[in-house]
Amino acid sequence: MLALIVAAATASAGICAEPPTQLRVRLGDQDIRLDAGQSVEVRIDGKPVSLRVDELPFRRFAEAGIAFDYPRHFPWEFESPATWTLDGNSAVIIVLGAEKGEGADPDAVLDGIAQTLKSKRPAPRESILLATRNGPIDGVAMTVTLASSRIRNEAYRIEGRSRDVLLLLQDSLTDDGQASAEFVAMRKQLAQTLEF
């Protein structure tokens, strides 16, 4: 009986891993189907060559005049006229696009968030910087409490070449008030790859 329980537990442990992404690669007029990370042998000019396609841990956002990498597991949502939400488990990226000279004011956006969450007292604001390869971007941050959760909001106005963008980064802080690991990794990747 014990062996049966151990076997069942061992078998179910393998089910916990997410299966690899299925990919189709077109090489000339040949379709090759494989799992991400799997190598296959293909022939190029009659010679065998190893082909391997790996799925990167991020996707590329390129809308509203800005571009950056964000975690692959963040779902994408678009609302007209120009709002994109990329939502992770603890971290969220919201991009608000606008015509040149008409970008949203970061303080006004944070005021709206505080009002929506019915913050009973004004949430203190702090000036912050997002260090990017294009140079630092000034922003404003505030933390609000919703029930027993603390949510940090960082708002940055980016004046692009063709459009203005408000970039809003949100994080559900840990129980000890620290940024979540997901937020830290997302913010670092975004800052390193941001183009406008």
Average pLDDT value over all residues in the chain: 89
Taking only the tens place, the pLDDT of each residue in 163-189 is: 999 999 999 999 999 999 999 999 999
Look at residue 1 and tell me if it is in a domain: no
Query: Could you tell me if 101 and 130 lie in one domain?
Result: yes
Query: Could you tell me if 111 and 100 lie in one domain?
Result: yes
**Portion of the chain with pLDDT greater than 90, in percent:** 61
Query: Could you tell me if 51 and 77 lie in one domain?
Result: no
Q: Is the pLDDT of residue 19 over 80?
A: yes
Query: Could you tell me if 165 and 91 lie in one domain?
Result: yes
Query: Could you tell me if 37 and 121 lie in one domain?
Result: no
Confidence (pLDDT) at 9 = 53
Look at residue 178 and tell me if it is in a domain: yes
Q: Is the pLDDT of residue 6 over 80?
A: no
Euclidean distance between CA atoms 111 and 90, whole angstroms = 21
Query: Could you tell me if 76 and 167 lie in one domain?
Result: yes
Query: Could you tell me if 98 and 143 lie in one domain?
Result: yes
Query: 45: domain range?
Result: 20-55
From the number of C-beta atoms within 10 Å of its C-beta (0-12, 13-18, 19+), residue 48 rates as exposed
Given 7, 38, 55, the domain boundary residue is 55
CATH of residue 173's domain is: 3.40.1000.10
pLDDT band at 101 (very low <50, low <70, confident <90, very high): confident
| Per-residue burial over 118-132, b = 16 or more CB atoms within 10 Å of its CB, e = otherwise | eeeeebebeeeebeb
Look at residue 112 and tell me if it is in a domain: yes
Query: Could you tell me if 68 and 159 lie in one domain?
Result: yes
Distances (CA, A) of 175 to 113, 148, 150, 179: 21, 9, 8, 10
Look at residue 7 and tell me if it is in a domain: no
Residue 124, preceding peptide bond in cis (omega within 30° of 0): no
Number of domains in the chain: 2
pLDDT band at 117 (very low <50, low <70, confident <90, very high): confident
Query: Could you tell me if 37 and 103 lie in one domain?
Result: no
Of the two residues 3 and 55, the one the predictor is more confident about is 55
Query: Could you tell me if 100 and 178 lie in one domain?
Result: yes
Euclidean distance between CA atoms 191 and 132, whole angstroms = 5
Taking only the tens place, the pLDDT of each residue in 140-168 is: 999 998 888 899 999 999 988 889 999 99
Q: Is the pLDDT of residue 7 over 70?
A: no
Confidence (pLDDT) at 28 = 84
Q: What is the pTM of this model?
A: 0.81
Look at residue 169 and tell me if it is in a domain: yes
Look at residue 171 and tell me if it is in a domain: yes
Query: Could you tell me if 71 and 100 lie in one domain?
Result: yes
Confidence (pLDDT) at 162 = 84
Look at residue 27 and tell me if it is in a domain: yes
**Taking residues 91-108, what's their average pLDDT?**
93
